[in-house]
Chains A and B, each alone.
Chain A
Amino acid sequence: MVASTRRRQLGRSVSVIGVGMSQFGAFKEKTSRDLFVEAFQDLMNNLDEGLDVEDIECGYLGNYSSDLFEGQGHTAPIIADWIGITPTPVTRIENACASSGSALREGIMAIASGMYDVVLVGGVEKMTSLPTEGVTDVLATAADCIYEVPAGLTFPGIYGAIAKAHMDRYETNLNHLLKVGIKNHNNGSLNPNAQFNVTIKQMMERRQARAEQRGESVPEWRDELAFLNDPTSNPWVAWPLRLYDCAPITDGASCLLLTSSEIASNFTQKPVQIVGTGQATGRPLHAAEELTSLSAAKHASSQAYQMAGITAQDVQVAEVHDCFTIAEIIASEDLGFFEPGAGPRAVDEGRTSLTGDRPINTSGGLKSKGHPVGASGVAQVIEVFHQLRGEAGLRQLPNPDLEVGLTHNVGGTGGTCVVNIFRRG
């Protein structure tokens, strides 16, 4: 049998028993270790039955580039020290923006192998230490630095080229992209941990109010779409992508605790089981099979669906990697929620909103919640955990039979994709 199509199973079942995250935002005075301590305290304070720190047997930390952002390599033992768990082994996992999605897979396999019962998984990124141009350079190192970056391609640039290809091939237009941002900000406005927990409409009204206060002429916009179509309020970053098509630069940390499912009930009456996991790699855009899809996402999701014994149609809530608005649209197609090219229409019809039949990025997504790259994969799991337990506050989905959730975490422009599937109970 071909290795890539073999049906894989975990050696034993693994569950998430608790989650924690720092505030996401721009925090000049905080380093990675400060951010992670915040997330860890949130986790420990919110465990249903509590846990002795000494019970943590092992840890995996997703982090993209503390080296370039903060001049700090070998980050895992420092974090372990700051949360007081030395000499517990902790390993840093780097897979660009999919670092903590990959760290989670390592944690899952560490328990499934039978070696450990209780594993800490987290992610952290401190990004605002550099100016925007510097962050652009660091993020570009996730692309091919010999054949893509010298061609002038940046991270938004490559996704811009994907967006243009999607627009050429299907009926996708600029407003479809902007509507993804509007939807995610609507969701993020209900998330107290989000970096931008405001709607686009509120941002528009704030700008008008500021202009009025300063005695300047107050710009008039018919609605949010008019605001987003105005190049003075929403400048180009990498045409056809604008500022509001891009996830922000964010400082933040996230973490969760995994246990073998057989002991999960010692820690909580409401565990969330990991029923499927998949990961795959892809080639640079110019070498990819298609310019309108990430093949790694298709492979990773097919592995995860197969392990979970479900199809895309069974997924009731999904957090997908919307580092750019176009990325959410192609994710919704690659994951099989919609046919190729049908993603934009689904956005138009509101199918991916909180009240739609296919809710995507209820947390606000990377766009509104923020994207501290190494922390994003685990932060996605935190939202699915809350939704499946009915603890998502104002953004809780109304579906009383919510059981199955999915996370889709991408590194670079599809060099890595990790998909995990979760089930309540």
Chain B
Amino acid sequence: MSSELRDFNSNSFYAYLTEGKLMGIRCKRCTQLSVEPRPLCPSCHASDIEWHEYSGTGYLSTFTCISIVPVRMEQKGYGRNNPYCSGVITLTEGPRISARLSQVDASNPQTIKSGMSLRIDFNEIDTDNPILTFCPD
């Protein structure tokens, strides 16, 4: 489907992700950028929205290493003896988003540093069940 025709919603967001693109929105009226596509600008409430492709780079703002895991992550083999890392990433373009972190040692959180440069890790994004994932750049 042509990108101009896609609805500004989460289905489109995750569909783009499986195609190797991190797509968010830009408000044409106030120029505010948002990662989560939505039909109304969260800043000025205008509905004059366009797609915006993000570079997929940024830095780690904060994170956690999770040992008591939800059922979905337990099924992937994570748990008390195999924690995983998730965090908040500030994208180079400014907005923040929550994401998983790959290629870090979640059993040793001291080795993971807030502020570290990250890039989106498309190799880790499963096309059937896409999860936004970043890795050290």
Contact = CB atoms under 8 A, between A and B. Distances in A.
A148 B96 CA distance: 12
Interface in A217-272: 235-241
Contacts of A291: 61-62, 88
Interface string B47-73: 000000000000001111111111111
Contact of A285 (B36, B70, B73, B98): B98
B5 to A, nearest CB: 21
Contacts of A150: 131-132
B84 A285 contact: no
B74 interface: yes
Contact of A168 (B69, B86, B100, B114): B114
Contact of B64 (A147, A149, A239): A239
A390 interface: no
A286 B96 contact: yes
B10 interface: yes
A157 B74 CA distance: 15
B62 A239 contact: no
Contacts of A240: 64, 109
Contacts of A239: 64-67, 83, 109
Contacts, number: 114
A134 interface: yes
Given A137-B71, A151-B131, A160 B66 contact: yes
A177 interface: no
Given A161-B87, A237-B67, A153 B62 contact: no
Nearest to B101: A152
B65 A152 contact: no
Given A238-B68, A240-B109, A161 B63 contact: yes
Contact of B68 (A132, A146, A162, A287): A132
Nearest to B88: A286
Interface string B81-97: 00110111100000111
A133 B88 contact: no
Contacts of A355: none
A204 B118 CA distance: 42
16 contacts: A136-B68, A148-B98, A152-B86, A153-B98, A154-B66, A154-B70, A156-B64, A160-B64, A160-B66, A161-B63, A163-B64, A237-B68, A239-B67, A241-B64, A286-B89, A287-B95
